[in-house]
Structure 1
Amino acid sequence: MTAGPKAPRPVFLALAASLFLALPVVALPGLVRAQTAEPAWHHATALAGTPKYGPDAKHFDYVNPDAPKGGIVRLSDTGGFDTFNPILPKGNSARGLGLMYDSLMETALDEVDISASYGVIADAMRYPDDYSWVEYRINPKARWHDGKPITAADVVWSFQKAIELSPPQKFYYKNVVKAEELPGGIVRFEFDTKGNRELPHIVSQVLVLPQHWWEGVDAKGEKRDIGRGTLEPPLGSGPYKIKSFVANRDIVYERVKDYWGETLPIRVGTNNFDEVRYAVFLDQAVELEAFKGDQYDFREERSASQWSKAYDFPAVRDGRVVKEEFVDKGSGRMQAYVPNLRREKFQDPRVRQALNYAYDFETTNEIVSANLLKRIGSYFAGTDLGATGLPEGLELEILESLRGEIPDEVFTTEYKNPVGGNPQNVRTNLREAVKLLTAAGYKLDGGRLIDPKSGEQFTIEMLYFDKSAERNLLPYSKNLESIGIRTILRIVDQPQYINRINTRDFDMATLVWGQSLSPGNEQRDFWGSEAADREQSRNYAGIKNPAIDKLIDRVVFAKDREELLAATKALDRVLLWNHYVVPQFYSDMDRTVRWNRFGHPKTMPEFTYAFPTIWWYDEALAAKTGAIK
């Protein structure tokens, strides 16, 4: 049983650049600054409280500042790549491109709970009390790999190209009405709204690209075009650059020896490997066997079944391969069977609720996954953001303002998934599913669930690309068949799967929404009405609900952490009681396996294991384990 990726591939995040380490989207900044007419410049910001590290910090606590530089780390990728253009939403960008680029600011790994951000390309930022604009001051030491300075003009150009070429980026930054270069190496973003505390920070995530390189000519004298895909290794600014590659097979990044940002506090003790290699595997079963054969070094095992059964081989038993679990405290998720609400048959919430009654999580978890997984009961599973009990306090006040627009159960009943696990429970749940479907207008006729208006059997095509997903799909399909629903299991290759999801050409599919600990503007892309009909948005289900739009605004415009929590819980509760999805499962542990050649700091960051960002090649361990092949 596959629990899904902790950090979904770029198409599901609607971000073109594949990042070396997935960082949470920041929201609700609480900048500590003097209340003056002209805002003061600050080296760091935090969503709540005060940033941990001051302007004189030399390095962060979660790194080994004396970590040795050298060695190789080999990682894997599935799906291949056909472009190095990091901003186009179409095409398959190479893994690891984020290694090549720095951002204006970056979040510390041990302050995810307050999302403290520190300068990289920008050495300071400021904004006014009404959050109507933000200015970033470019670090005069910032350089591209060709030695030319990174400028405010590069930032403005990169932003303009991002919203011009990428519909998801245009939507995400729709409140930014102006980006301009000011004297003194300053870039300014202006907004069409006030009070959105997240906006001054999310613009720091813009992928900054070298305008002079993209508007120049290649080795053949041909003009480059950022509006098209390319396999010409691009110019970057980050700690790595492309050394070699074979399209759809492998890519090697080499550490930049004169990297301009090496001594930045947020960079000290990081990016320690001389080379980072990605090998492409088009089949996940082959990928696992390749790990066992020492063809790459590290994997996060997302299948509970494989974690419990697939790692009994000699290298594990003799210690050359290490299995290690890390508590996942830094992210949340909703993973679910997602019916496409754009299809008429899924528009009645009673039909969607019936689909949940047909899903026997408990039996599948026991048989397939050794009871290692937990049932998802929140759109923010794994965090303290999920709704529990009955609403009270500020959450209740928010929900009361929408009474009549939201399900009545929101006020009277705590949301709980149906519980299976034994034949009696399963029979009871299936009977309840039939009642709901009958109430929605369907009828059983000779063991077939029929739509009386059309005379056709209710049919669901389940779309997937990973054959291992069948371990969970088959028992669910069997239960659906038992109540008269015809199921079609449709396996396609990954590019076709991505295209069909993005163009909304599916009945039902397993999809994942990753959540940070500080939700904000991205919720519009997940559940907002405006995103429902926009291809490549993450509103996969097609949710259009004015009450949910209002709740999203309460999240986005929350004035403090208390209001953020209340608004998020309210949003969670209303999403759940609309039965938009059939929640699946998650794990609150990151289960990792590695060939034992690597060291890590004694004090690891609280919210992530951060491999390989803060790890290093350990010569002594490698000597015992064997040289990299």
Structure 2
Amino acid sequence: MMRAKYRFRRKVWPVLLGFICVLSINPAIGAPAHGIALHGQPKYGLDFKHFSYVNPDAPKGGEARFAAIGSFDTFNPFNIKGQAAAGIGQLFETLMTSSADEPFSEYGLIAESVDVADDRSSVTFKLRPQARFHDGSAITADDVLFSFDVLKTKGSPAYRLYYANVAKVEKLDERQVKFTFSAGENRELPLIVGQMSVLSKKYWESRDFTATTLDVPVGSGPYRIERFEPGRFIVFKRDENYWGKDLPVQRGLHNVDRLRYDYYRDVTVALEAFKAGSYDIRVENVAKQWATGYDFPALSKGLVKKETFAHQRPSGMQGFAYNLRRPLFQDPKIRQALAYAFDFEWSNRNLFHGQYTRARSYFDNSELAARGLPSPDELAVLEPLRKELPPEVFTTAYEPPSAKDDAELRSNFQKALQLLQEAGWVFRDRKLVNAKTGEPFRFELLIAEPTWERIALPFARNLERLGIEMAVRTVDSAQYENRERSFDFDMIVNVWGQSLSPGNEQREFWSSAAANQPGSRNLVGLKNSAVDQLVDSVVAAPDRTSLVTRVRALDRALQGNYLVIPHWHIPYDRIAFWDKFGYPTTVPMQGVQLESWWIDPKKEKVLGQQRSSQLEKTK
């Protein structure tokens, strides 16, 4: 439900990996503006007609069908209870909206204009008079105040972290709301607030916001729920009377009349359903499936297209993530040691068909990634924190262990054993045990998709050679999400998506305050005062140059703490689709924007005829 800067807003079509930023000095400082940027000026001027990566004349109509995995039991995506229905975020509009072809700029959506104080101590939004909820009622300042309060007090813990520096919210009149910030540099706050979903006070104030619900909520977005069957499917219908359809930020988007999400047990079943024509478009995240899983007649006959779309967004970090709340993983030498048992090169050759690049940075595929030894500017940021950081942050360029052949893998095992022995573990009866207690070294890797078993099991076999027992446990999506929220795991596979302008979301990822807050994204449980200060410095970065320097310094601190065993990344999106879609030729830096696609009537007609002809031949 968060896009780009991990904002809490809709994403109409399936979210792509990857998914940052706020506040600029506008030509008239302190004057109402149509948009703002984190650094510099917004790309699009006051009179812009539409974003450059959309087709403003895209036809409306048709139905697009998608797959979702698992089940759903709630239409409230703002708390941590239950499984929210796929696509539900599209019901709720935000004060402002981001463009996909800038590091981080936002433009008015519900807000007609935004006014940032000269000293950045406050921001005032003026609401559009035509902004309406689905029940026809106007969106007012009272709804904005209610939304802020209910999200911060009863919503996901992430909201409390995001809005922690908002000192006061006040209604100036029916269409104006002012947010005042606490002291300190936090350049993102105006647009962090701008990303807030505005909820209907009239609808929600009489309901339990902390509960799950399948009552259809009153929203304000371009789609409404048309019908659903709990846990099986949900259909959204485009609102022809949507109040924002002619806004420049919405022109060329939301072109499909109906969006249907059907639920499948797992990704393997879902792929077979796609090949059978049960749904229309699929974002592929499994390299083996992309390489070998689409060999079926519809593809060879051109009925299905299989395309890659390059992007320029940071890859973030995916990896086997340790839970530092577990005593077993509190020694960094142990965390460092286990990484030597993961053979990425073997996996890439044998499982991924050579498609991936090894992850080494939390901000790979961008200028934000730390490389080599720290620069003088980075050292100036890191030096005051030297006592709280691992020494290698200053002396060693981080690289995850690699092994081009069996000889290098054996060498890696020896390095791992040396680190484990230094941490107090010894071999007894072919098992690694604690030298003092005799307790065997064993833990559990928790996964939610059987697809991960083919990657995890070879890793487990390598660990077994070190005398370590790693059990691989696959659970359903609901159980997985509950255990993740409560930090009830030893190790999981996790992805920290990053943006081109990191900021406040890093507090939820890494801060000590988030470590023991159920539902936060600090899944590893990191508590490190140096990292806390580095995150604060990123949030307070006054310009792009200092932001890049401070993010690189943060990257080094995260690398040096060995929080994960890094996996891999690719600089493009893989999408397979039945050939009935049109889409813009321009792909923005944030990657393909599926909500800008449309149903091409001619392609849809031809596809229907070809599929009917094929069906007749099989009778």
What is the TM-score of this pair, normalised by structure 2? 0.95
Q: Is the 8 A contact 2:372 2:397 kept in 1?
A: yes
Distance across 2 between alignment mates of 1:343 and 1:236: 42
Query: Given the alignment of the two structures, is residue 198 of structure 1 paired with residue 192 of structure 2, yes or no?
Result: no
The one-letter code of the counterpart of 1:230 is T
Q: Is the 8 A contact 1:14 1:89 kept in 2?
A: no
1:465 to 448, 452, 466: 448
1:622 to 592, 604, 616: 604
Counterpart residue number, 2:414: 431
Paired residue secondary structure (1:457) = coil
2:143 to 136, 144, 154: 154
The one-letter code of the counterpart of 1:238 is G
Distance across 1 between alignment mates of 2:312 and 2:138: 38
Counterpart residue number, 2:21: 27
Query: Given the alignment of the two structures, is residue 420 of structure 1 paired with residue 403 of structure 2, yes or no?
Result: yes
1:60 to 28, 51, 64: 51
**Equivalence map 1:19-418=2 (5 Å):** 20=13, 26-35=20-29, 39-111=30-102, 113=103, 115-166=104-155, 167-183=157-173, 185-215=175-205, 224-418=207-401
The one-letter code of the counterpart of 1:138 is L
Offset at residue 184 of structure 1 (A): 5.3
Unaligned ranges ≥5, structure 2: 613-619
Q: Is the 8 A contact 2:154 2:210 kept in 1?
A: yes
Q: Is the 8 A contact 2:223 2:239 kept in 1?
A: yes
Offset at residue 25 of structure 1 (A): 7.6
Distance across 1 between alignment mates of 2:527 and 2:208: 37
Offset at residue 29 of structure 1 (A): 2.3
Offset at residue 51 of structure 1 (A): 1.5
- Bigger shift: 162-171 or 302-311? 162-171
Counterpart residue number, 1:220: none
Counterpart residue number, 1:493: 476
Per-residue CA deviations over 1:47-71 (Å, capped at 9, x if unaligned) read 2222222121222221111111111
Distance across 1 between alignment mates of 2:377 and 2:44: 33
Distance across 2 between alignment mates of 1:236 and 1:578: 43
Distance across 1 between alignment mates of 2:46 and 2:448: 48
Change (3 A) 1:340 1:110: same
Counterpart residue number, 2:615: none
Distance across 2 between alignment mates of 1:9 and 1:210: 22
Distance across 2 between alignment mates of 1:17 and 1:501: 23
Q: Is the 8 A contact 1:101 1:236 kept in 2?
A: yes
Per-residue CA deviations over 1:531-557 (Å, capped at 9, x if unaligned) read 111111111111111111111111011
Q: Is the 8 A contact 1:105 1:118 kept in 2?
A: yes
Per-residue CA deviations over 1:385-443 (Å, capped at 9, x if unaligned) read 11001111321211122222212222222111111131101000001000000011110
Per-residue CA deviations over 1:1-37 (Å, capped at 9, x if unaligned) read xxxxxx8999xx79696664759883242232434xx
1:446 to 422, 425, 429: 429
Paired residue secondary structure (1:609) = coil
Per-residue CA deviations over 1:154-195 (Å, capped at 9, x if unaligned) read 011011110111222122211112222112511111122232
The alignment covers a number of residue pairs equal to: 609
Paired residue secondary structure (1:404) = helix
Counterpart residue number, 2:514: 531
The one-letter code of the counterpart of 1:104 is L
- Bigger shift: 346-355 or 393-402? 393-402
Distance across 1 between alignment mates of 2:15 and 2:106: 14
Change (3 A) 1:63 1:128: same
Q: Is the 8 A contact 1:333 1:380 kept in 2?
A: yes
Distance across 2 between alignment mates of 1:202 and 1:380: 21
The one-letter code of the counterpart of 2:475 is V
**Equivalence map 1:490-569=2 (5 Å):** 490-569=473-552
The one-letter code of the counterpart of 2:119 is D
Paired residue secondary structure (1:248) = coil
The structure 1 segments of at least 4 consecutive aligned residues displaced by more than 6 Å after TM superposition are 7-10
Paired residue secondary structure (1:424) = helix
Distance across 1 between alignment mates of 2:549 and 2:7: 27
The one-letter code of the counterpart of 2:131 is A
Per-residue CA deviations over 1:140-161 (Å, capped at 9, x if unaligned) read 1111122211111101101111
Paired residue secondary structure (2:146) = helix
Per-residue CA deviations over 1:337-391 (Å, capped at 9, x if unaligned) read 1111111111111100001111110011100111101111001122221100111
Q: Percent of pairs identical after alignment?
A: 44
Change (3 A) 1:206 1:191: same
Offset at residue 110 of structure 1 (A): 1.7
Offset at residue 623 of structure 1 (A): 2.1
Q: Is the 8 A contact 2:356 2:569 kept in 1?
A: yes
The one-letter code of the counterpart of 2:234 is I
Per-residue CA deviations over 1:190-211 (Å, capped at 9, x if unaligned) read 1222321111110111111111
Distance across 1 between alignment mates of 2:162 and 2:414: 43
Change (3 A) 1:9 1:273: closer
Change (3 A) 1:15 1:456: farther
Offset at residue 232 of structure 1 (A): 1.5
Counterpart residue number, 2:567: 584
Change (3 A) 1:16 1:247: farther
Offset at residue 265 of structure 1 (A): 0.3
Distance across 1 between alignment mates of 2:130 and 2:296: 50
Counterpart residue number, 1:4: none
Offset at residue 79 of structure 1 (A): 2.1
Distance across 1 between alignment mates of 2:211 and 2:514: 25
What is the TM-score of this pair, normalised by structure 1? 0.93
Q: Is the 8 A contact 2:442 2:470 kept in 1?
A: yes
Offset at residue 609 of structure 1 (A): 1.1
